[in-house]
Structure 1
């Protein structure tokens, strides 16, 4: 282990998940009850022997035991405390780790309070002539985004249920469109038909007539996913309702958006069943195009699914995934890697995901290093969503997928790159508002906590120096 590992809250969660008392859990680990108690209360660090015992006897992944929720929560808390509002209070990284490890609920509460503060400030600063009610509440979209973010983008109940159904349907050996259509007809008496192209709908379900209509010009991968979505809506309703009931929602809109998100999750897990997809990803070295061809999916569906391979004891390579529009807005995001996306502002302009719009149809590779010294392999490509001919509107996005450099050899995209030459790594940040790089020719704004020096007699690329 690198450094001392204080993960008392996580250790306690593992024990409680095993439904074991401290005495029984300690006995299985081969330690005393008092020693376990001290580790759970972060009075002593987790030892190498205990870590190995956890891996052997409780099927715990050693490589990720100190990451996952803690990394995401630490990143979000660190970003919140970068606000000048907290200038007089500068907790150290060790103090922040202690909070996220020992009092995660408190950390979530502080982040929520900071989000409310920012929303109030932004509304007031806009001076749009009116003060809207409920400014302190997050938007439903933000609420659902954070719900999935802190679930690690993995929903075990839905994932395993979808995988079991995929096995019964013979996937991925069968062509998914035919398998899904036959299942809807035989199990639910639902006929699949083409929708009139002029209606412009991707999927429409008539409950009374038991008819599912799909856009006639949608790509095959889109049709497959919409068929899987309808199966999820008909068969996973109870599981989804139970998951929604277990969360503390602020609005009915958030509940309904989350319902769609969970149904989408089941559809993705049905189209790309966990174990088969996990094995194929390793076999094909995460080649997005080959994976898409094997499972009848799109590049975006494959990249997104790779970010959900977080099943306890059977995890995939920890990756980050994001979808970005031309304006730089991150419309989808998740990271199982150390890289965590900014909660406010656009993505770093030096990140290769922006270049994808300049090279349609190509996969662009980048070796990148963040200000904390972590290095990554990042790949990006443009995707278009449309169908319907020359006059039909098309939505264009760029998607990016990447991993920490330690895992780069598991990706075909690392072939031919010099992973040992630090000079080949581009310096990128998370977002300008929290990036502390003093010299960046693409900086849009100074970092929040920076002091600036302005020389009126000297002009460089950026009109100020960060001191």
Structure 2
């Protein structure tokens, strides 16, 4: 899905009264090629886009339209919803609306978010009422309790010659039943809260995503704090796990301990580390790898000193709830730790020298594949940027658990991505890097780099589930990476045709389709494409 860069170029050029031929001459391309760019039929980037921006006297960011592309993606999702399927609105309309009436586009996206949240909550409650056996059991317990309380109260009211002992027995029975009713009622309310909390968390994640996207996943205040904190740590010796441990013990009287299991007060399902603030102890389970221990020590050291900076960023206007601010603060804490472990200038220099070889960088910094991938995504300082990468993570069930988009490709927020993406094929060869040149139906091309990794288990009874990490960059930057070696990037015939998700994909002949596609105006897919949706029990 291309952002409306061409339309913005044309609009700005006409506003300045510059002819198409004159602008083409100034930026050293042919008028016909500029015409294709303005019609959004050719991608434009790099130095050419910079020259166009200079001639039009406009900031480069205003033309690349990262925020506009994200908005356009949201509109396409809205238009694909069944409630709007009869509107005959699609990608072209979304692109034009974002380019010509951005305020209206923002309003539509905001209304659709609110509609989606309300609709999801209604569905969650309806599903609970219709199908949840636990809910039925709780309601039955409440009815039984009410009946018992009523029977005891009627006896106390109607029978006057009860002895004191008998009266106390009935009062005790009523007290026990009312206490039981209170407990059951709390469980019932908890079931509804649990049903809606997952929906609320999706909305909270979207707010945090908006904050990250607005900053282009680069936070200069955190980078400055990280530089000062790294210098402070380095005074204790060469940067390492041992040095971090020494810094925590010397400056904060915090000891680091390792054990088979965390202490009971820190035990949570799946947790491999935790900080006991009262005992001033940072605990790790024995099998936590060095990369995680190092990262978490840096995170704790930073949070003890940069809490005001973290709070100030998390208090921004994009975050409207305490839950969103808490989630944002956790993300920002991880960002700060990454900036300490991987200092911007040195890490970017190493990344360029290694041609963005993630495994080589992981070896250089004693880090994990995922930690390196996270840091690569944040190299967005205006005067010295790395390659723009997108990031995605999926669990073994294929559900997306983390994401950060890049211009031209907005990664799905939740659910599942296209089943043909390298993100999923990496699960077939865990531990090996899978590369893929993916081509979308609009002609945009991207290099996908994926690896399935497994977090180390903590014992025989623990299951070590893999997850897949995906880095994405525009094909224009592919040859700057080691992953383009041996690929003919000019041969589009070798590309893997993919889509964003099945529901938003326009490839009607895809044999890997998992659900029906959406078509503008509610049009049905051709019969031959629907055959791919139906499961084949013979396979």
Q: Report the TM range for the smaller structure's normalisation.
A: 0.7 to 0.9
Question: SS in structure 1 opposite 2:360?
Answer: helix
1:376 match? 446
User: What is the deviation of 1:333?
Assistant: 0.6
Q: Could you tell which deviates more after superposition, 274-283 or 140-149?
A: 140-149
1:176 match? 240
Q: 1:87 to 1:357 in 2, by over 3 A?
A: closer
Q: 1:436 to 1:164 in 2, by over 3 A?
A: same
CA contact (8 A) 2:395 2:467 kept: yes
Q: Could you tell which deviates more after superposition, 122-131 or 340-349?
A: 122-131
Structure 1 CA distance for aligned equivalents of residues 278 and 507 of structure 2: 60
Q: How many residues align?
A: 422
CA contact (8 A) 2:314 2:325 kept: yes
Structure 2 CA distance for aligned equivalents of residues 300 and 281 of structure 1: 15
Structure 2 CA distance for aligned equivalents of residues 278 and 74 of structure 1: 31
CA contact (8 A) 1:454 1:463 kept: no
2:363 match? 293
1:81 match? 79
CA contact (8 A) 2:71 2:109 kept: no
Q: CA deviation digits over 1:204-225, x for unaligned, max 9?
A: 2233333322223210100011
CA contact (8 A) 1:303 1:401 kept: yes
1:68 match? 66
Q: 1:179 to 1:48 in 2, by over 3 A?
A: closer
Q: Could you tell which deviates more after superposition, 236-245 or 186-195?
A: 186-195
Structure 2 CA distance for aligned equivalents of residues 68 and 7 of structure 1: 18
Structure 2 CA distance for aligned equivalents of residues 443 and 347 of structure 1: 11
1:158 corresponds to 2:156: no
User: What is the deviation of 1:354?
Assistant: 0.8
1:227 match? 297
User: What is the deviation of 1:99?
Assistant: 5.2
Structure 2 CA distance for aligned equivalents of residues 208 and 459 of structure 1: 60
Q: Could you tell which deviates more after superposition, 422-431 or 312-321?
A: 312-321
User: What is the deviation of 1:168?
Assistant: 4.4
CA contact (8 A) 1:379 1:402 kept: yes
Structure 2 CA distance for aligned equivalents of residues 459 and 95 of structure 1: 26
Listed as ranges, the gaps of 5+ residues in structure 2 are: 13-48, 131-191
Q: Which has the larger radius of gyration?
A: 2
Q: 1:461 to 1:2 in 2, by over 3 A?
A: closer
1:239 match? 309
User: What is the deviation of 1:4?
Assistant: 5.4
Higher helix share: 2
Q: How does 1:111-122 map to 2 (within 5 A)?
A: 111-122=109-120
Normalised TM-score (structure 2) = 0.69
CA contact (8 A) 1:176 1:271 kept: no
Q: 1:386 to 1:107 in 2, by over 3 A?
A: farther
Q: CA deviation digits over 1:19-74, x for unaligned, max 9?
A: xxxxxxxxxxxxxxxxxxxxxxxxxxxx977833899xx9x7x5895143232232
Normalised TM-score (structure 1) = 0.79
Question: SS in structure 2 opposite 1:197?
Answer: coil
Q: 1:305 aligns with which of 369, 375, 379?
A: 375
1:251 match? 321
Structure 2 CA distance for aligned equivalents of residues 53 and 430 of structure 1: 34
1:353 match? 423
User: What is the deviation of 1:297?
Assistant: 1.1
Structure 2 CA distance for aligned equivalents of residues 424 and 54 of structure 1: 37
Q: 1:459 to 1:401 in 2, by over 3 A?
A: closer
Q: Could you tell which deviates more after superposition, 305-314 or 407-416?
A: 305-314
User: What is the deviation of 1:364?
Assistant: 1.0
Structure 2 CA distance for aligned equivalents of residues 443 and 318 of structure 1: 29
Listed as ranges, the gaps of 5+ residues in structure 1 are: 10-46
1:128 corresponds to 2:192: no
1:26 match? none
RMSD: 3.5
2:398 match? 328
